[in-house]
Amino acid sequence: MTWEFHPLVKRVLDGELTLGDLPLELRPEAEEALRMLAALDRTPVTLSPGLDVRVMETVRRRAGSPATARESFRAVRVWRWISAPRDVEIRLRVRPWAVGALAAAAALVLLLLARPNATPRGAPAAPTAASAEGSVLVRFVLFAPRAHRVAIAGTFNQWDREATLLAPAGTTGVWTTTLALAPGQHQYAFVVDGERWVTDPAAPAVDDGFGRRNSVVAVPGARAL
Amino acid sequence: MGRAEPASDGAVVRAVLAGDVEQFAVLVRRYRDRYARYAAHMLGSADAAEDAIQDALIRAFDQLKQCREPDRFAGWFFLILRNRCFAERRRGLREPRPLEDAQQVATSSDGPDGAVERFERRSALARALHVLTPEQREVFVLKHVEGLAYEEIAQRTGTTVASLKMRMHRAYDRLRDELEEHR
């Protein structure tokens, strides 16, 4: 014989109904069910203080020696100092005709950059790479005609979805950006309109182990290009 | 002088990823106890929970590069711990011993005011919880021990409310069956 709770009693356990909502004949069963829940052990569980030390020892070992960690931290501080915004005042003396010439040159450059690229409308393009000093320039392309804003986040920018925006190529719905990446494998995804994560349809993807997919780009060493 | 705001999870994760490994200690302090009760109920003892949380924290460090929403580190870490608990339950590496743990409680809190009866009910339920599948056990623990609503559980586990309710209702029946059988 199997014992099952009445569906209405289950709703009492779920907190959707109270005892008073039940017909009289079901109340004893519901009271029994509630006694069962009341017996649950809800005492907080305290872990040993040594856990923090054990975890951090392992973490340091895996990240390299403590000295390496300190050096990395120093590098971070230097980078923060270099990258922090500062106020800089620049005064220029220019002749009006020179401004016109500069504007014409800038327009020419923009025109050249905005020329239709090899990516046909609607077709995904795999990230393309070109060599740069110490790192490799990789071009990312996404066709997203309804997007108002497209960013790229990945292991190269600590998954910061505000850090790297793609630029729209005219009104074609194609968004692109070119990043200088270190050789190695990088995982990434596009972020459309600040909230929708989109994998790159032109790149392989891997499961991140938690039910989501990340795109992958393998950047060869600059000499291999 | 106002006290400095503690760094957000996102800021700490980014600092670790940028090379400041020592910042990971902030996350360890923040999350070591938060899910301890959940893990203890899933695995059957505080010792097993401690091992699981230690492993999950180290795994989180190893895979931090894959945490693509650093500001939601809590949810991401919970999923790592959850996977660890499920894997251990399925492997059956560690048999929980709710009775042994509970017996010690009985000797210290025994008395004429119904404590024995409460203790017996508690240990019977603890035994019965171990016949549930990991999925049934999880929804039961998150709702009735951690006090989460179905919607919150759905968000944490990536499951629909309807399937959570189905799991829970099966868990109620299994628990009742088990408790009646050993009455």
Domain range annotation of chain A: 7-38, 50-80, 128-224
Is residue A158 within 8 Å of residue B14, measured between CB atoms? yes
Domain span at residue B84 reads 9-91
Which residue, of B63, B91, B119, is where some domain finishes?
B91
**And the tokens for A54?**
């054990």
Q: Is B116 within a domain?
A: no
Q: Which residue of A has its CA nearest to B73?
A: A159
Angle between the N-to-C axes of helices B9-17 and B24-31, in degrees from 0 to 180, rounded to the nearest 10? 140
Q: Is B3 within a domain?
A: no
The mean of the pLDDT values for chain B is 85
CB contact under 8 A, A37 and B144: yes
Q: Is B18 exposed, middle or buried (0-12, 13-18, 19+ CB in 10 A)?
A: middle
pLDDT at A57: 94
Q: Mutating which of B68, B132, B155 best tests the A interface, going by the most A Cβ atoms within 10 A?
A: B68
The three-class DSSP label of residue A209 is coil
Condensed to tens digits (0 to 9), the pLDDT of residues B103-145 reads: 444 444 445 556 777 788 888 888 888 889 999 999 999 999 9
CB contact under 8 A, B15 and A76: yes
Is residue A35 within 8 Å of residue B121, measured between CB atoms? yes
Instruction: For residue A39, give the nearest of B18, B57, B118 by CB distance.
Output: B118
Render each residue's pLDDT in chain B as its tens digit; 183 residues: 556 778 999 999 999 998 999 999 999 999 999 999 999 999 988 999 999 999 999 999 999 988 888 888 999 999 999 999 988 877 664 455 553 444 444 444 445 556 777 788 888 888 888 889 999 999 999 999 999 999 999 999 989 999 999 999 999 999 999 888 766
Q: How far is B97 from chain A (nearest CA, A)?
A: 14
Q: Any idea which architecture A128-224 has in CATH? A: Sandwich (2.60)
Instruction: For residue B65, give the nearest of A51, A55, A155 by CB distance.
Output: A155
pLDDT at A222: 54
Is residue A55 within 8 Å of residue B28, measured between CB atoms? yes
Neighbours of B51 (CB within 10 A): 17
CATH number, domain containing residue B44: 1.10.1740.10
State whether B83 and B139 are in the same domain.
no
Whether the CA torsion A81, A82, A84, A86 is positive or negative: it is positive
pLDDT at A92: 58
pLDDT at A10: 95
CB contact under 8 A, A51 and B70: no
CB pairs under 8 A between A and B: 152
State whether B14 and B87 are in the same domain.
yes
Domain count, chain B: 2
Q: How far is A37 from chain B (nearest CA, A)?
A: 7
Q: Which residue of A has its CA nearest to B156?
A: A210
Q: How far is B151 from chain A (nearest CA, A)?
A: 12
Q: Mutating which of A57, A74, A158, A187 best tests the B interface, going by the most B Cβ atoms within 10 A?
A: A158
CB contact under 8 A, B67 and A159: yes
pLDDT at B56: 95
CATH number, domain containing residue B156: 1.10.10.10
Neighbours of B53 (CB within 10 A): 29
Q: How far is A15 from chain B (nearest CA, A)?
A: 10
How many angstroms separate the most distant Cα atoms in chain A? Answer: 98
**And the tokens for B135?**
């999925």
Render each residue's pLDDT in chain A as its tens digit; 225 residues: 677 899 999 999 999 999 999 999 999 999 999 999 998 888 899 899 899 999 999 999 988 755 444 545 555 555 555 555 555 555 556 666 776 777 777 777 666 655 444 344 444 567 766 665 678 889 999 999 889 999 999 888 878 888 899 999 887 889 999 999 988 888 899 999 988 889 998 888 887 766 678 899 988 875 555
What is the distance between the alpha carbons of residues B136 and B153, in angstroms, rounded to a whole number? 12
Instruction: For residue A63, give the nearest of B21, B57, B175 by CB distance.
Output: B21
What are residue A176's DSSP bridge partners?
A141, A167
Half-sphere exposure of A42 (CA within 13 A, CB side): 12
Instruction: For residue A52, give the nearest of B29, B39, B65 by CB distance.
Output: B29
pLDDT at A112: 61
Q: Which residues of B touch A75 (CB under 8 A)?
A: 19
Which residue, of B91, B122, B140, is where some domain finishes?
B91
CB contact under 8 A, B58 and A158: no
